[in-house]
């Protein structure tokens, strides 16, 4: 980089520092922000899971309940219901989740075109929020790529009961250690409305969401 470009860069950075008031204790300022919203839930674990399931139903997602030993059976039930015989499997999905009789394609840097033409994707999650019915996915080493959860038209997600918290602040604290990794939040199948209030599904992600809820 030339000296002129370096000087210009330093000038721009100096202007930014002056605009924001110079060096400050950001940690202290952040800690001083009033937080009058509810930061902790008070529901019993079973009630929390039931609320999460109810929110998913409201959004139009299907929920398949099972125990840890029955995950593969629940996956098979969901895929059979959707008439899907093959599906992409994201990084981090254990082999014990995969039932016999279906084709599972591991995401080994599949192209966007291949993802778009696939029958869907199977993933786990990092956390879930009962109050909003939100699923949180983390993307990084050993985790699903963001494209894998956005490009396919169908998403089958396994959520364990212990991953479900009541409020969003609790979920954010749970994933705080992954603050450097991208996160995706999913509240039901992808849908949006235009200015004429015409609802369209699948614009920003899968049109169909199924959840295997493990108790």
Structural domains for the chain:
45-214 (3.40.50.10420)
Contact 68, 96 (CB under 8 A): no
Q: What is the pLDDT of residue 39?
A: 79
Which residues make beta-bridge pairs with 47?
none
Task: Report percent pLDDT > 90 for the chain.
Answer: 60
* pLDDT band at residue 68 under the 50/70/90 scheme: very high
Higher per-residue confidence, 90 vs 19: 90
Q: What is the arithmetic mean of pLDDT over 167-181?
A: 82
pTM: 0.81
Look at 9-18, 21-30, 69-78, 79-88 and tell me which has the smallest mean pLDDT.
Answer: 21-30
Residue 20 has pLDDT above 80, yes or no: no
Residue 141: DSSP 8-state: T
Written as six digits, the tokens of 101 are 């009789």
Contact 126, 92 (CB under 8 A): no
Task: Give 76-127 pLDDT, tens digit per residue.
Answer: 999 999 999 999 999 889 999 999 999 999 998 899 999 999 999 999 999 9
Query: Shortest CA distance to 144 belongs to which of 71, 92, 86, 190?
Result: 92
Residue 204: DSSP 8-state: S
Q: What is the pLDDT of residue 15?
A: 83
- Cα separation of 211 and 189, whole Å? 11
């Amino acid at each position: 980089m030339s000296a002129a470009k370096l000087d210009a860069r330093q000038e721009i950075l100096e202007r930014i520092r002056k605009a924001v008031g110079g060096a400050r204790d950001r940690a202290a300022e952040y800690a001083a922000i009033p937080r009058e919203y509810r930061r902790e839930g008070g529901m019993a674990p079973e009630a929390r899971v039931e609320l999460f399931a109810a929110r998913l139903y409201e959004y139009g997602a299907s929920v398949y309940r099972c125990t840890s030993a029955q995950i593969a059976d629940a996956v098979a039930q969901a895929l059979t219901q959707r008439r899907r015989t093959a599906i992409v499997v994201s990084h981090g999905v254990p082999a014990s989740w995969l039932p016999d009789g279906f084709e599972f394609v591991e995401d080994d840097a599949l192209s966007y075109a291949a993802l778009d033409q696939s029958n869907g994707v199977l993933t786990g999650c990092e956390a879930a929020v009962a109050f909003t019915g939100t699923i949180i996915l983390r993307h990084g080493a050993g985790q699903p790529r963001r494209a894998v959860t956005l490009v396919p038209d169908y998403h089958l997600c396994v959520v364990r009961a212990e991953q479900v918290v009541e409020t969003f602040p609790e979920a954010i604290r749970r994933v705080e250690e992954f603050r450097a990794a991208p996160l995706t939040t999913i509240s039901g199948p992808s849908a949006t409305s235009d200015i004429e209030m015409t609802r369209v599904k699948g614009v920003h992600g899968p049109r169909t969401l199924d959840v295997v809820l493990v108790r």
